A and B are shown apart, each in its own frame.
Chain A
């Protein structure tokens, strides 16, 4: 019989209950509606969570209440995270609340507006905080779910548009409790890792609740302190999250983020081909000018001498053209007509033909002489003909 046993004191019993309850519910999430909400002057929050059948007293201590992203109100449906504690003096138990997440569209919207207001007033959304993305990134960090269409969509865009990158995944859960903390930690990882040029934070479409992690303050702060530019790509075009406001660039969708993060390789290829063409053209022009100068020089006083010293610049031109042909040989598979006509013009300038006609090249100390003023009495020079070199001396 129970009453023959040694009775417990109230304190002993309460202690046992406390032990059982506190070890039994060390970390729980409870869903309910807020009532009797009181913001005590001490800074602590007291309220009751209730549903149709029961009530649960709750307390949120000042240190946690101060970082709450929104102000709870009576009637709000929320999910409160925390642990059960027993208050022995009153013989009551309560939920020691560590986090509160709004539940339901109205609550979420209110919380969203409150956090937006708060971070906005801190300047986190300011235009001058936004960093430019690198022109051509080498490594792109991605914070998203390792499974599902989002990563696949982005990979497809990168493959098509600019595959020359390393995509570095830091996988996270993108919804549900704990998702926000994982996303924030993944961003911090990339910050510490340091060797990425930008980070894309991405998630596919979903309800406001599904996207909620991206409206949480820890994610916003992690984006703000990230050491490399962050692109947010959450949900569809019409979804705006707090993460979008803090990010350096908001992309309407994950695929769009991939588009915005890299240049179009076809455009770059066209630019490179254009550069190649312009370089060839410019050198042709330079060579032509040089030929003209040679002709002018030929008519000048210094060259009223036997044919051997004449027209020495041709060798120089020849060297250039040989280099042109050697280097350009297989450079490009471009076969445009303007390219071919350019090649023909280069061939027409070939000074080997000129050497055969009696042109020669003069060198002094191994350098090409391209002005009569470079030569003085008794200078030793080498004169190169099409079939060999002769050493001679200036009178």
Chain B
């Protein structure tokens, strides 16, 4: 078996799309067993990641600030 593949999807949206892709690929049925296993692991990992993000997400509130030179920064906004 190859080295364990660690997918770090760029965005949540990417992760969801990858998950869809994996479902489609596996449902085509002609996947070799070893690849199916890898896809399975990746897919379950992604589902867990996505579900976790959806369940645990917390809204972050920031304020856009600009200094004298016109450089931007984000500061935490008080509730």
User: What residues of chain A have their CB less than 8 Å away from a CB belonging to chain B?
Assistant: 134-136, 138, 141, 155, 158-159, 162-171, 189-190, 192-193, 265, 268-269, 271-273, 275-276, 278-280, 282-283, 285-287, 289-290, 316-317, 319-320, 323-324, 327-328, 331-332, 368, 370
A166 neighbours in B (Cβ, 8 Å): 60-62, 74
Q: How far is the CB of B79 from chain A (nearest CB, A)?
A: 9
A317 neighbours in B (Cβ, 8 Å): 33
Contact A163 B58 (CB under 8 A): yes
Contact A323 B57 (CB under 8 A): no
Contact A159 B59 (CB under 8 A): yes
In the complex, 30 of the A-B residue pairs with CB atoms within 8 angstroms, ordered by the A residue number, are A136-B11, A141-B64, A159-B59, A163-B59, A167-B59, A168-B63, A169-B61, A169-B62, A170-B64, A268-B16, A272-B16, A275-B47, A276-B47, A278-B23, A278-B26, A279-B22, A279-B26, A279-B40, A282-B23, A282-B27, A283-B36, A287-B33, A316-B34, A320-B33, A320-B37, A323-B37, A323-B41, A331-B47, A331-B48, A332-B47
Q: What is the CA–CA distance of A167 and B60 in the complex, to the nearest angstrom?
A: 6
Contact A276 B64 (CB under 8 A): no
Q: What is the CA–CA distance of A167 and B58 in the complex, to the nearest angstrom?
A: 11
User: Residue-by-residue, is B6-44 near A (CB-CB < 8 Å gives 1, otherwise 0)?
Assistant: 000001110010011011001101010110110111011
In the complex where A136-B12, A272-B50 touch, is A190 in contact with B44 (Cβ < 8 A)? Answer: no
Q: How far is the CB of A189 from chain B (nearest CB, A)?
A: 6
Is chain A's interface secondary structure helix, strand, loop, or mixed overall? helix
Contact A278 B27 (CB under 8 A): yes
In the complex formed, the residue of A with least CB distance to B25 is: A282
Q: Name the one of A141, A155, A276 contacting B59, with C-beta atoms under 8 angstroms.
A: A155
User: What residues of chain B have their CB less than 8 Å away from a CB belonging to chain A?
Assistant: 1, 11-13, 16, 19-20, 22-23, 26-27, 29, 31, 33-34, 36-37, 39-41, 43-45, 47-48, 50-51, 53-55, 57-64, 66, 70, 72, 74, 77
In the complex formed, the residue of A with least CB distance to B45 is: A327
Q: What is the CA–CA distance of A136 and B16 in the complex, to the nearest angstrom?
A: 10
Q: Name the one of B31, B54, B70 contacting A265, with C-beta atoms under 8 angstroms.
A: B54
In the complex where A171-B63, A317-B33, A323-B37 touch, is A269 in contact with B55 (Cβ < 8 A)? Answer: yes
Q: What is the CA–CA distance of A220 and B51 in the complex, to the nearest angstrom?
A: 40
Contact B57 A265 (CB under 8 A): yes
Q: Tally of A-B residue pairs with Cβ under 8 A?
A: 137
B54 neighbours in A (Cβ, 8 Å): 164, 265, 268-269, 272
Q: How far is the CB of A325 from chain B (nearest CB, A)?
A: 11
A165 neighbours in B (Cβ, 8 Å): 57, 59-60
B47 neighbours in A (Cβ, 8 Å): 272-273, 275-276, 279, 331-332
What 7 pairs across the A-B complex have the smallest Cβ distances? A164-B57, A282-B26, A276-B47, A279-B43, A163-B59, A136-B13, A166-B60
Contact A168 B41 (CB under 8 A): no
Q: Name the one of A162, A327, A332 contacting B41, with C-beta atoms under 8 angstroms.
A: A327
In the complex formed, the residue of B with least CB distance to A266 is: B54
Q: Name the one of A167, A169, A286 contacting B31, with C-beta atoms under 8 angstroms.
A: A286
Q: How far is the CB of B48 from chain A (nearest CB, A)?
A: 5
Q: Name the one of A167, A190, A331, A332 contacting B62, with C-beta atoms under 8 angstroms.
A: A167
Other A-B pairs, 14, CB within 8 Å; known A164-B53, A269-B55, A286-B31: A135-B13, A138-B12, A163-B58, A171-B63, A193-B72, A272-B19, A275-B22, A276-B44, A279-B40, A282-B36, A286-B33, A320-B33, A328-B44, A332-B48
